[in-house]
Amino acid sequence: MKYLVIAAFSLFVSIQVMAQKFPDLDASPADIAMARSKDKSPLAKVVYSRPQKKGRVIFGELEPYGKVWRTGANEATEIKFYKDVTFAGKPVKAGTYCLFTIPEKDKWTIILNTELDQWGAYSYKKEKDVLRIDVTPKKTDSAVEAFSIMFKDGGDKGADLLMAWDEVMIEVPILVAAPVKKK
């Protein structure tokens, strides 16, 4: 009898697990890009969601020029620096930041912001910015269907952050900050 009860319970649990409905793949799935230093230690990590082009004109239409963008979909994109770095030549302390952008036709403003765990850019607060830089967008050879972020090896001292979608790509150099010499 004891074994019959155990078998019945096991069958009940198995049916419940099989009946569980898992959600379909998100339309803008999450992804992670990672950069490592030459010694293989982590340098930077970006966590973001990848919206799809789906035949749409992205910049200037779906993502209006001059407006703060979450730099992806769903939650605001976050970037973590494992070491003090320079981001396009500007010093940034090790830590995690929201990565926002303001796309324009001839320039993009890249923003690092201390307000984490935001959905989109709806609660973005400029006063939480720790850095703003302007970069010049480049035209890609062909359209990039899914918004993509990656790191390109930047040599002994860092990496280049690349972001691309549709026919636009931007690049930002990230270098390990030189240690401050004590006098």
3-state secondary structure of 105: coil
Ranges of residues in the chain whose predicted pLDDT is under 50:
none
Domain ranges for the chain = 29-176
The span from the CA of 60 to the CA of 173, in Å, is: 25
Amino acid 66: pLDDT: 96
pLDDT by residue (tens digit) across 94-112?
999 999 999 999 999 999 9
**In this predicted structure, what is the pLDDT of residue 26?**
83
Q: What is the pLDDT of residue 39?
A: 84
Q: What pLDDT is attached to residue 181?
A: 56
Q: Select from 6, 83, 80, 8 the least CA-distant residue to 39.
A: 83
**pLDDT value of residue 175:** 87
pLDDT score recorded for residue 4: 53
Give CA separation, 112 vs 14, 152, 154, 176, in Å.
47, 20, 20, 17
Provide the whole-model pTM.
0.84
Q: Give the CA radius of gyration of the chain.
A: 21
pLDDT of residue 13: 54
